[in-house]
Amino acid sequence: MKHFINLKDIPAKDLRKIITDAKKRKLARKNFSNLQIDRLAPLKGKLLIQMFEKSSLRTRLSFYLAIKQLGGSTLTLRPDELHLSKGGESIQDTAKILSNFGNAFMLRTDDDKKLEEFRKFLSIPIINGLSPSSHPTQILSDVFTVEEIKKKPITNLNISWIGDCNNVLNSLIAASIKFSFKLTIGCPKNYQPNKKILSYVKSKTNKISIFSDPNKAVKDADVIFSDKVISMNDKVNKKNKLKHFRKFKINMKLIKYAKKDCIFLHCLPRGEEVDEKIFLSKRSKVWQQAANRVHVQKSILLYCFGKLR
Ligand code: CP
Ligand code: NVA
């Protein structure tokens, strides 16, 4: 049994194995309908329990299809209906019950410590479905999408991030270290990653650089990533923050600095950080990106269950 909490704590060879498995599984499902079960139904009889403390559309749906396609089933808990959220039950006791009734637990939380607490008391795998500090299932799936579209290993590509230094970027940073790809980050000076992340980056790689000039950050990029400037539960002066990010909007003018065949990716939902013209253009692969989450999350589930081939 393996947990899937942060990319930085998972060996690179395991992350690569997950992507390779997802490629094979996606190929094997050509012409399958959404609920058709994969050959051998490797997770037959298994229950994935999901809980979202924050909104979700894609993560919820993609985990639903992922476990179903592997032959298992899923149940989504509403935190406001549990004793836990009202302080009427501990994480320790909740985790014991989850471990008795379910076979894996996917948690989207507003508190990283909760993931660690649950991990301590669960005897089933826990998957991080987004936390304030990371969004690992999203980024692993995005590595898959980049390689699928570009038809080369991500290590040979220039990846650029324009936008807020948030949970999704933290996972992209971890991926850059694990998969050894060049990552250029473009953000306003006063919104750079915090000191802890900067010193982590410095100790691990020289392939990541940060620019306060967005044109420099996207220079020769094969892929431009972005995300909402204001994340869920971001406790900032929103107007002020949006103002600082105005010159970091992804538009036709900016994208000219990237490679001619540069693609645009965004985990969604989107805000004003990308111009409609780019978002709806051929360069934008956001729908393929979202759809791929099912495939990669299936392989993440198999990894957690120790069933990755
Ligand atoms: N990208 C993503 O995680 O979307 P949801 O918040 O809708 O799950
Ligand atoms: N950074 C965003 C990602 C949403 C999928 C957030 O945390 O709200």
The pLDDT tens digits of the residues spanning 83-120 come to: 999 999 999 999 999 999 999 999 999 999 999 999 99
151/264 same-domain check: yes
Same domain, 156 and 276: yes
Closest Cα to atom 1 of ligand 1:
267
Question: Which residues is 186 bridged to in the sheet?
Answer: 162, 211
Active site positions, annotated: 108, 135, 138, 227, 267, 293
Cβ-Cβ contacts under 8 Å for 46 (sequence gap 6 or more): 67, 70, 71, 72, 73, 103, 104, 305
On whether residue 163 sits in a domain, the answer given is yes
Q: What pLDDT does 131 receive?
A: 98
Our count of domains for the chain comes to 2
Pocket probe for ligand 1: among 56, 138, 234, 296, the residue whose CB has the most ligand atoms within 8 Å is 56
Encode pLDDT of 52-68 as tens digits: 999 999 999 999 999 99
**Residue count (the chain):** 309
Nearest one of 101, 152, 103 to 261, comparing CA atoms: 152
Sign of the Cα pseudo-torsion (6, 7, 12, 18, in order): positive
Our CA angle for 231, 116, 208, nearest 5°, is 55
Query: Is residue 168 in a domain?
Result: yes
Tell me which ligand sits closest to the C-alpha of residue 267.
Answer: 1
Q: Judge whether 222 lies within some domain.
A: yes
Indicate which atom in ligand 1 lies nearest the CA of residue 232.
6
The pLDDT score that the predictor gives to residue 36 is: 98
Q: Name the residue range of residue 87's domain.
A: 7-134+293-304
Predicted pLDDT of residue 210: 98
Mean pLDDT confidence for 275-281: 98
Query: Looking at the CA of 109, which ligand is closest?
Result: 2
Residues 274 and 151 in one domain: yes
Q: What is the structure's pLDDT at 309?
A: 76
Which residue has tokens 């301590």? Answer: 120
Residue 170 pLDDT:
98
**Residue 227 scores a pLDDT above 80:** yes
In ligand 2, the atom with minimum distance to the C-alpha of 164 is: 1
% of the chain with per-residue pLDDT over 70: 100
Ligand 2 atom nearest residue 167's Cα:
1
Say yes or no: 214 and 284 in one domain.
yes
CATH number at residue 54: 3.40.50.1370
Task: Inform me whether the pLDDT recorded for 294 exceeds 80.
Answer: yes
Query: How far, in Å, from the CA of 220 to the mean position of ligand 2?
Result: 26
